[in-house]
Each structure stands twice: as structure tokens, then as C-alpha cells.
Amino acid sequence: MQFIAAGALARKATETAKRFPFAILSAVTATTAAVLLVNSQSNSALSHLLMAGMLGLPLVTALELMAKRHAQSGGARFAIQAAGPAALLGPSRP
């Protein structure tokens, strides 16, 4: 079994965070909401945030891969990636 050096692990984590920033943000959001939801008494706002974070993971990953394939400029790629969280966090009907 091979172990990875701490420097190599930090470098790979930084590369991943730069490539998938919205996926990292979605994962952190879902994890934080889940931890807070454990100790709360049926908080619907936290439940909605957890679901948005969980749905966001595959959505923003797919959008990043699509943007990498189709968009030429960095601004267009960012706009495509930002559309996912904007759609998930947009207004919802009661």
C-alpha cells in the first residue's frame, strides 16, 4: 500500500478546488446543513439547504465538464458554472 506525501495531497486538493469550486462549495453547504440539522427540531430551511447542496454536487460537476468542452473564454465558463447554484438557490414556491 502506497502512501501519498502531504505536499502532493495538498497540491492535488488545490488543483481540484480550482477546477471544481462550485462543487466544493456545494459539498461544504450540504455538509454544514446536515451537521446543523442533526441537532435541530425539524428545521425546514436547513432541510431545503441540504437538498440544494446535495442536488448541486452532480449539477455543478456536469456544468463544469460541459463548460470545459464548449466554452472558450474563462468568463463564459464561469457563467455556465454559476448558473447551477443560481438555479438551485433561486426563489421557490411555498
Q: Mind listing the pLDDT tens digit for each residue in 12-60?
A: 989 988 888 888 989 999 999 999 999 887 778 888 889 988 998 999 8
Task: State residue 28's pLDDT score.
Answer: 92
Average of per-residue pLDDT across 2-7: 79
The answer on pLDDT for 94 being more than 70 is no
Specify the DSSP element, H or E, that contains 79. helix 74-89
Which amino acid type is present at position 85?
P
Q: Is 42 left (phi over 0), alpha (psi -120 to 50) or beta?
A: left
| C-beta neighbour count of 29 within 10 angstroms | 20
pTM recorded for the entire structure: 0.75
Q: DSSP assignment, residue 40?
A: S
Distance CA 11, CA 69 (A): 24
Average of per-residue pLDDT across 66-81: 80
Average of per-residue pLDDT across 52-80: 85
Distance CA 85, CA 26 (A): 8
